[in-house]
Chain A
Amino acid sequence: MKRNGKTLLILLGYLLSAWFILDPGPLPMALFVFVAQPLIALAAVLYVVEVLRELKERGVL
């Protein structure tokens, strides 16, 4: 679950984004702005943290 967590967040974000892009009504827009965006951003940040942590462990940083 931990290793797939970021992927799941992004996939959920993608589904909501696709709904909004195809049908830009108020509810899909609210879900994109207030749910999908934070989910995708969180997954991206978690990935960057993972990369930085590994680089530190290897002594690159």
Chain B
Amino acid sequence: MDFTTAIKILGVAVILAGMALCLALVRTAHLSPLYKRLAPFALLMVPLAVLALGNYHVFEGTQNVSSCLRCHVMLPIANDMMDPESMTLAARHYKNRWIATKQCYTCHKDYGLNGTIKAKMDGFRHLVKYTFRTYEEPIRFVGRFNNDNCLQCHRKTAKFEGIKSHHTIRERLEANQIGCIRCHGFPHPTGSERTPGTARYEELHRPLSGGGGGAK
């Protein structure tokens, strides 16, 4: 049993216990001694424990590719990533196992002190847009991609340091003044490929066989 499943079982158990406490509280005389003993657990501690477990589920569960795939707008990105013929950056990292697990999160969490918080805030924005369908396809990356997402693995490797142009533009790379994809190609299918009505759009939206091809 993995940790996420354990948290899931624990979450349901705590919720059931919380519900039982709430029902017991409703049947107890208001402000009676028993009410005062039950209330801190029923109205404060157990609810806060549920919030903690739920938030853990939000923060940890969303790191998996399967979580990203729950939104259909991610299908073309995932289909391309798992396509052995594709030469996008995501597909090359996937098929070569350069990133073995949590492929989406590894490149999109934004490293640094506030990086993960920013990624989560972006996630909440995406959640609102997806829930209320206030987005248009093809979806586009908002803002500037943080090169640290690439450099956290590539920086100081012999292969990276051995390329002269990396030294020439190092300061601009570190300052996000120039993107890695400027030289290294598209990370995902282009916007035109993901535009509804095109043949490539239909191809990229085919359901994934096996629910994600082993991506974690």
Q: Which residues of A contact B58 (CB under 8 A)?
A: 29, 32-33
Known: A14-B18, A33-B58. A7 touches B11 (CB 8 A): no
Known: A7-B22, A11-B22, A32-B58. A17 touches B39 (CB 8 A): no
Q: What is the predominant secondary structure among interface residues of chain B facing chain A?
A: helix
Q: Which residues of A contact B12 (CB under 8 A)?
A: 18, 21-22
CA distance A7 to B35 in the complex (A): 12
Determine the interface band of chain A, counting residues with CB < 8 A from chain B: 20 to 34
- A40 near B51 (CB under 8 angstroms)? yes
Query: Which among B44, B53, B130 has the highest number of chain A CB atoms within 10 Å?
Result: B44
Query: Which among A4, A10, A20, A34 has the highest number of chain B CB atoms within 10 Å?
Result: A10
User: Chain B nearest CB: distance from A28 CB in Å?
Assistant: 10
> In this assembly, does B84 line the interface, its C-beta being within 8 Å of a C-beta of chain A?
no
Interface residues of A (CB under 8 A from B): 3-4, 6-7, 10-11, 13-14, 17-18, 20-22, 24-27, 29-30, 32-34, 36-37, 40-41, 43-44, 47-48, 54
Given contacts A7-B26, A21-B15, 7 further A-B contacts (CB under 8 A): A10-B22, A10-B47, A17-B15, A18-B11, A21-B12, A43-B43, A44-B44
